[in-house]
A and B are shown apart, each in its own frame.
Chain A
């Protein structure tokens, strides 16, 4: 089945530690995205990548880093510089840059900082 997988589903981290969230897609999509969702709020864009080996900052990139070495994979690292990392993280992908292409989402990773 084609889709987007995110792992792990739940993640606990101690303060001061970096942690990497996985996102893999087998939809052959060019573009991939990372969003953060806090309770009572909509999704906010962290980083996005339109093509392999290229990515851009979204609205809330501080304290996060990404890489796009393969088309299928777009891992997100939450660094210790992120002041309030506890949130629900969603990865998405889309065919390309055209506006009519909807984004397909993974199941999400819930990160809790202890």
Chain B
């Protein structure tokens, strides 16, 4: 079974609109962390936001927020007021456990977001 599933290969959004990128995960570990990264066409991965499994509130970072629904095992990224510069590939990733395994991340296959005028 896939540990991280991103079902939207591509998304379009109009400038200034909000967009939600879906991510579901699968783990039996009670301690885990969820990350979202942005990858522009240049290739570099840019960290956006983090949510810990024990965090009581949804994470927010500027225009980025994470809609964390633990029971549904989903961690959707919400980008508000989209900008042209948001056009990129977006990856959801998970880190399981706190000890022994290091800080290894498992990535989804990504969602290509295109912001249009």
Residues of B within 8 A of A102 (CB): 35, 47, 50
Picked from A45, A97, A105, the residue with its CB within 8 Å of the CB of B44 is A105
Name the interface residues of A61-76: CB closer than 8 Å to any CB of B: none
| B28 part of interface (Cβ distance < 8 Å) | no
Residues of A within 8 A of B52 (CB): 99-100
Complex Cα distance, B96 from A45, in Å, reads: 14
Name the interface residues of A48-72: CB closer than 8 Å to any CB of B: 48, 50, 56, 58
Given contacts A41-B109, A44-B107, A103-B45, 14 further A-B contacts (CB under 8 A): A31-B102, A35-B107, A43-B93, A43-B107, A45-B105, A48-B102, A94-B103, A97-B99, A97-B102, A98-B98, A103-B35, A103-B103, A104-B47, A105-B46
Q: Contact residues of A with B, CB < 8 Å?
A: 31, 33, 35, 40-45, 48, 50, 56, 58, 88, 90, 92, 94, 96-108, 110
| 10 sample A-B contacts, Cβ–Cβ < 8 Å, listed by A number | A33-B104, A42-B110, A43-B91, A48-B102, A50-B103, A90-B43, A99-B52, A99-B98, A101-B103, A105-B37
